[in-house]
Chain A
Amino acid sequence: MSGTGNNRSPLLVARNIKKVFGSGDGEVEVLKGIDLDLRPGELTLLMGPSGSGKTTLLSILGCILGQTSGELEIAGHPTKGLSPDQLAKLRCEHVGFVFQSYNLFPTLTALENVMLTLDVQGGYVPDAEGIAAGALDAVGLSHRANAYPSKLSGGEKQRVAMARALAGSPSVMLADEPTAALDASNGQAVMALLAEVSKDPTRAVLAVTHDHRILKFADRIIKIDDGIIASDDNTHVEHGAPPVAGSAGSSAAAGNPL
């Protein structure tokens, strides 16, 4: 684990996370002992070549895939020994997801997609529609509230997905390649929004990406390679500059496009 210069208590703590798929001769160790803290007010980018274990790590950090060993704590709640439904509750209360393919519900409008998060959380929510409308307004899509996903552009869909994640007021927001399906300008807009979201002092944001154009939005860049953290850089990254100059395993420095 690396320090980041941010002295706030971490919202996500991962210790010695290992993940093994298969068994016997077919056994593959995808993660080989990951230590990671995510602190509030930070946008962290997780980068690495294909097959390096980024998505597996993201799935484990989001409590939707169990680790083979190691410990994970989200917003002060240890995940060890929790049942699938207890993990779902933890996700529901503390984790927000933004997916590469948006994963919006095609039969629900943008507003209803956002309201769904509040329903899944259960409990009694006064003015749920107002909260959902506020989340859409926050991502600049209040005028598209009644549009179905099929009528939205890629950038709009991703912003609805962000509004959906935000409506649940998660402590940790995890984004899987949020700009991969977007053109340059939409990608920039989505990342700018994600960076703004991460400024909330009660929230940490982690985004998996291959996209070098968005490095300027990051407060911190973690590179993962072959199941281990190759580098963890929290210095200000200038647009277009190599993220981790001279660090071990820096494929970017070696000209690898990631």
Chain B
Amino acid sequence: MAVDATGAAAKQGKNGKGKRVRMAPKLAYRNLFHDKMSLTVTLIGIVFSVVLVAVQCGLFLGAQRSIARVIDQTNADIWIVPLGTKSFDDPSLLDGREKYAALAMPGVKSVEQINIGFSRWRKPNGGSTTVLLVGSNWITGGLRPWNIIEGSVDAITAPKGVAVDKSYFKDLGITALGDSAEINGMTVTVKAVSTGVRSFTTLPFVFTTLGRSQRMLGSKTKESAYTLVTLKPGADIEEVKQNIATRFADAEVLTTAEFRSRSINYWMFQTGAGAGLIAGAILGVIVGIVIVAQTLYASTKDHLNEFATLRALGASSGYIIQVILLQALVSAFIGYLLGISLSLLVVSAAKGTTLNVVMTPELALMLFGLTIGMCMLAAISAIFKVIRIDPASVFSR
């Protein structure tokens, strides 16, 4: 009889070598897609969480970039800053001796100054606003205005020339290249217009030459907010830094990375601006974990009889855990794909607005890992439920 032959075949099979039957992934997949409403709720939870974390982290990254935007545009290796400077846009003045002292140091290739200061911008049609005036001589290697879309950098050197970002036109009360206004009582003309050059504090940057900025800010000709040092190839940055630092008691000498980090830390953590973004990201993860855990648990409860049957059939705890984790993994994968797609749409929609949301490959990868981890964590409650199943319950149904 064929019935006996079946058993023999199975026995023979178990002793031989061949392709392993893989039913756990199929069972996980089918269980997941069997209840489409439950799957939808799970995916909504994951997508919500991914988008929330992506936007919060994107804003965090965007904020970091905004804070360090000007620093990142320089080629300097070392920044000499007034003692106690908290961030790039926390200006006070160096007396100018630093420039010449640094130039005399071995290993130093060039030294430039950047002057910054808060100024009153008087709009052409009345009213005024505060701007952050940035002055530098880019012709000799200082900070060169970037992302210019109208006019030219060279035109800024013409009398009264300044550069502003297009996104600040409304704040500055101007409408086009060539419009004039006043800074601290001195007439300026917009000779260049940039795009995407926004400050973290939302105060408009106004770029001009070093000399003009000194006049507008009322500082002496040698004075500047920062002195930027560029090293010769092969020079020891720490050694040069130390040599300069020993010369000036009222200044701090920082590498570009250190000044960048100090500026970011000040705005993101000391002012509490970043704490809100971090709290939002954590909230997103918690909400994701709770929703996924709740739906996975409910799904597991719905299939409890099947898990008890699996246990009765001789499945190990590991096999059953594998089924649940695979369900979580599939949910995570689909949820991530939907979530990251939606996040990219948000990033795209935010372009050209005042909302600076950034998505990088590293952030996308981190979000993937976070989603997987979140779903695995969410599976724990379901796993606890399943490993406590009494297989004898299959006889009482």
Contacts and interface: CB of A to CB of B under 8 A. Distances in A.
Which residue, B9, B306, B311, B318, has most C-beta atoms of chain A within 10 A? B9
Interface in A149-168: 163-164, 166-168
B3 A64 contact: no
Interface stretch (A28-36, A116-124, A224-232, A239-247): A116-124
Interface residues of B, number: 47
A134 interface: yes
Interface string B1-35: 11111111111011011111111101100110010
A131 B7 CA distance: 9
Nearest to B18: A126
Contacts of B27: 105, 107-108, 116
B11 A169 contact: yes
Given A99-B395, A105-B309, A106-B34, A127 B314 contact: no
B1 A167 contact: no
B312 interface: yes
A197 B123 CA distance: 97
A131 B313 contact: no
Given A89-B314, A116-B313, A169 B20 contact: no
Interface string B59-80: 0000000000000000000000
Interface stretch (A1-9, A182-190, A199-207, A210-218): A199-207
Contacts of A84: 317
A96 to B, nearest CB: 9
A38 interface: no
Given A91-B314, A108-B27, A166 B7 contact: yes
Nearest to A66: B392
A200 B7 contact: yes
A92 B314 contact: yes
B242 interface: no
B3 A166 contact: yes
B3 A89 contact: no
Given A88-B316, A91-B313, A118 B7 contact: no
B130 interface: no
A131 B316 contact: no
Interface string A119-150: 11111111111110011011100000000000
Interface in B287-309: 305-306, 309
A11 to B, nearest CB: 13
10 contacts: A58-B395, A85-B317, A89-B316, A91-B313, A108-B23, A124-B19, A125-B16, A126-B18, A166-B7, A169-B7
B349 to A, nearest CB: 39
Contacts of B391: 64
A42 interface: no
B10 A107 contact: no
Contacts of B4: 199-200
Contact of B395 (A59, A126, A129, A137): A59
Interface of A: 55, 58-59, 62, 64-65, 84-85, 88-93, 95, 97, 99-101, 103, 105-108, 112, 115-131, 134-135, 137-139, 163-164, 166-170, 176, 193, 196-197, 199-200, 202-203
Contacts of A125: 10, 13-14, 16, 18-21
User: For A58, A88, A139, which residue has the most chain B Cβ atoms within 10 angstroms?
Assistant: A88
B319 interface: yes
Contact of B3 (A62, A122, A123, A200): A200
B2 A128 contact: no
B315 interface: yes
Nearest to B23: A119
A112 B26 contact: yes
Contacts of B30: 105, 107-108
Majority-rule SS of B interface residues: helix
A119 B21 contact: yes
A167 B34 contact: no
A170 B7 CA distance: 8
B18 A138 contact: no
Contacts of A122: 20
A101 B309 CA distance: 11
Contacts of A117: 313
B265 to A, nearest CB: 51
A65 B392 contact: yes
Interface string B232-276: 000000000000000000000000000000000000000000000
A126 B19 contact: yes
Contact of B314 (A93, A137, A176, A193): A93
Contact of A92 (B23, B306, B313): B313
B312 A138 contact: no
A127 B13 contact: yes
Contacts of A93: 314
B397 interface: yes
A196 B3 CA distance: 8
Contacts of B2: 134, 137-138
Contacts of A120: 23, 310, 313-315, 319
What 9 A-B pairs are tightest by C-beta distance, nearest first?
Answer: A92-B314, A126-B18, A107-B30, A169-B7, A119-B23, A91-B314, A128-B21, A169-B10, A64-B391
Contacts of A88: 311, 314-317
Contacts of A129: 21
Of the listed residues A107, A121, A168, the one surrounded by the most CB atoms of chain B closer than 10 A to its CB is A107
Contacts of B319: 120
B394 interface: yes
Nearest to A201: B4
